[in-house]
Each structure stands twice: as structure tokens, then as C-alpha cells.
Chains A and B, each alone.
Chain A
Amino acid sequence: MTTGTLQASISYGVGFAISSVAAPPRRLRHRHVTLAKAEPTDKSVEIMRKFSEQYARRSGTYFCVDKGVTSVVIKGLADHKDALGAPLCPCRHYDDKAAEATQGFWNCPCVPMRERKECHCMLFLTLDNDFAGKEQVTVMTNFKAL
């Protein structure tokens, strides 16, 4: 059937087209195709950026001197928020991310941060930390993802 073949080839073509686009607006789920890492949605990034600024102020912590680090972590939080509904810490490996997001220990701000101001992501840094800057505001900087 010509229609069937057409449809098949279109979907095949779309699959390839998507894989060559640098920053698709939506997160893709095609595991069998090697894709560039999809970016989180702008909306989630902005939400997490604002959250980070508020929480830094509230906790008396500061962002890293290198704002690239701050940006990466904020995007990681946004990515998890998109995928899981909660900003799970991006600097950890999990057996089951969905379960962890529900359980909440590692949802940002995580328990170690809330209890001891420990942020191994280097997002919220206490003033005595060598890498702490003096700012509690941040803008997203562009970088090339892995």
C-alpha cells in the first residue's frame, strides 16, 4: 500500500530529523536512537531559576563563582521537574527516579540542604565555601551539554 509505505517512511524520516536537531523543544523518549540530550522546557527552567534565587536568599547561601555550574544544576532540576513532576537532585544516581521523586528526600531543596545546608551540587553554597560567589541572583548562561 502506497499510503502505508509513505507513512512508514515519513515516520522514519521524522525520527532522523529529530535526532539531528540540536535543541528540540520537547523531551524525547526514543531510547533506541542516539539523540543529543534534550533540553528542559523554558518554563521549568525559569521556575527553577526563580526558586533557586528565593531559596538562596532564604537560606543565606550564595551561588557558585562559576555561573555555568549554577545553570547546569538549574537545568537539571528543571529536567527532572518536566520528567518526574518534582525537581529531583540532578547530582545523584537513582535506582528508580519516579519512586525517589515521590518519596521526596532528594527533591530540591533536599533534606541534607534543609538540615545542614549541604548542597553537593554546588548550587547553594555557604559563604565559607571556597567556590561561593557573592550573589544570590543568577542568569542562565549558555553552554554545550554533554
Chain B
Amino acid sequence: MAISSTAATIHCWNSDYRAALSPPSSSSSKLSYLSSLQFPRQLRLLGVQNKGFLSPSQPRTLSLVEAKKQTFSSLDELLANSDKPVLVDFYATWCGPCQIMAPVLNEVSTSMKDKIQVVKIDTEKYPSIADKYRIEALPTFIIFKDGEPCDRFEGALSADLLTQRIESTLKVKH
């Protein structure tokens, strides 16, 4: 999903690094969770996490954030298995503002890695999930806490604003 040209020209939203989601070239970055319940359809969700311990030995000048493709049998399973609140980004390939959010989500995912897990869902690949949460405008972000949606907002926003929003949502529950 790397849009290097877009990421390079957006100066107003993030810092200068071009941390795009790395292409899934190495199989070592793919993790499959085998659950005892084998569902016929496997869900591929793009989980954006800071995988510092998976970083290769060669020196990197870019951020360590990598897209990690995880296989879950359902979004519910992912939400249930997560030990942190989850920010879900509902997007579509041809949605401009959704593309803007790619580097923003990388940045926020890195800076808030202990506080929240970031997950992206392609609404065209998983329309049933989008229907379930009544997604309309894209991008839509839903913050899940303890498996339940507790905040929801639409539209592209800067890393600062997104961070603020996440923090204020997470504070409320405490």
C-alpha cells in the first residue's frame, strides 16, 4: 500500500520519514495464528505494529514499523485476543483520504505502540465487516476497548489530532 509519491509530498501531517507499509516480501514477517476453530474463510488483516524484534540485521534508516499480515478467523477473534485497545481503520483502495492516512497511522502506531494496536480493514475485501459496523464514509476509524467500540470518527486527520483523539478516548475509560 506504499504510496511513496503521496507520502513524500505530505509535509503538513507527518515527519519526513517515508515509512510506508513494507511490501510483504519476506515470509518471516507473516504470522499465522492457528486457532482450534478452523473457519472456512481466513481473514487477512493488515496489522500495523512496531516489530522492533523482527527487524533484520542490515541497518535501516527508516522507522522500524512494518505491516504485519496476520490471519485471523474473524475480527472478533482479533479483538478478543488483543491485550490493548485496537484502532480499526476502514478503508478502500481508491479512497484518497484513506491513502493519506497510511503514513499517519504508521507514525501513530509507532509513537503509541504500548497503548494501542492499529488494524486496517479493506472494506471491499470484507464488506460484511463494514456492513456490520455500518461504515459509510471512508476512512472511518473505530476504537475498540475490551472488544467493544467506544469511539468512532470519519475523515483523514493529522498524526497530532489522531493521537489526541486516541488519548482522550482511552482516558475516558480510566
Contact = CB atoms under 8 A, between A and B. Distances in A.
Contact of B94 (A65, A66, A76, A142): A76
B3 A91 contact: no
Interface string B82-113: 00000000111111111110000000000000
B91 A142 contact: no
Contacts of B2: 144
A92 B95 CA distance: 8
Interface string A88-103: 0011110100000000
Contact of B100 (A69, A75, A92, A145): A69
Nearest to B94: A76
Contacts of B15: none
Greatest chain A CB density within 10 A among B10, B12, B90, B99 is at B99
Looking at chain B's contact residues, the main secondary structure is: mixed
Interface residues on B, range: 20 to 34
Nearest to B129: A93
B127 interface: yes
A72 B102 CA distance: 13
A56 interface: no
Contacts of A141: 5
A68 B97 contact: no
14 contacts: A66-B10, A68-B6, A69-B6, A69-B99, A69-B100, A70-B96, A76-B94, A77-B94, A91-B96, A93-B130, A120-B97, A143-B3, A144-B3, A145-B93
B93 A66 contact: no
A27 interface: no
A69 B1 contact: no
Given A73-B96, A146-B93, A95 B131 contact: yes
Looking at chain A's contact residues, the main secondary structure is: loop
Given A69-B96, A76-B94, A93-B90, 10 more contacts: A69-B6, A73-B96, A76-B93, A91-B95, A92-B136, A93-B92, A93-B136, A121-B96, A145-B94, A146-B93
Given A91-B96, A91-B97, A145-B93, A122 B156 contact: yes
| Top 6 A-B pairs, shortest CB-CB distance | A76-B94, A68-B6, A69-B96, A146-B1, A90-B94, A73-B96
Given A92-B137, A93-B136, A64 B96 contact: yes
A37 interface: yes
A142 B3 CA distance: 9
Contacts of A86: none
A145 B130 CA distance: 20
B59 to A, nearest CB: 24
B99 A91 contact: no
Interface string B127-164: 10011000111101000000000000011100000000
Given A120-B155, A122-B156, A91 B92 contact: yes
